[in-house]
Amino acid sequence: MIMTRRRVIEAGGGILAALLPWPAAGAAADAVEITMLGKANGSHVWFDPFGIHVEPGQTIRWTNRDPGNSHTVTAYHPAIFERPLRIPVGAKPWDSDYLLPGESFSVMLTTAGVYDYYCVPHEHAGMVGRIVVGSPPAVEAVSGTAEPGLTPLPDVALSGFPSIEEIVANGAVHRR
């Protein structure tokens, strides 16, 4: 069931891409790559880079390069597991479901703003990431304050995001 849903999403993306004029206006031709990594003993898991700066229309592709763990890439959004909103208002949230080692998942981000995401099984290990789409002052982190009925972020996740300033200054932020 889980596998089926992810494959439908990927197939849908492929059909959409096929229907768009190529190259799409303003869109970069290649996906920006983010890897999902982990220590062999599972003691540490992370996204690399875990902060990245792109322009609207960029496709991001996450690939699980961790041979020992399955991971997800999941947007913080009330519509997905009732989490606080930490992507731009009106932007489409996503959930990759579990990616086995070697599997990938892609999204195209068209709305400027700040997108925070996490790995479902490893949020409590601090496995989170941030994408800045576009440039300040047009972008601003969503406060993501806890609202009734939404599950707040654990402290280890809240403290795990690189700052917008660091991301924009460096283009990409890697695990320190």
Residues within the interface to Cu ion (CB under 5 A): 45, 71, 119, 122, 127
Outline where 20-162 has alpha helix (H). 155-158
Q: State the nearest-atom distance from the C-beta of 71 to Cu ion, in Å.
A: 3
Closest CA to 59 of 126, 107, 100: 107
One-letter-per-residue 3-state SS of 51-63: EEEECCCEEEEEE
Q: State the nearest-atom distance from the C-beta of 128 to Cu ion, in Å.
A: 10
Rounded-to-integer distance, Cα 130 and Cα 161, Å: 6
Bridge partner list, 82: none
CB nearer to Cu ion: give 107 or 127: 127
Q: State the nearest-atom distance from the C-beta of 47 to Cu ion, in Å.
A: 8
CB nearer to Cu ion: give 87 or 127: 127
CB nearer to Cu ion: give 86 or 139: 86
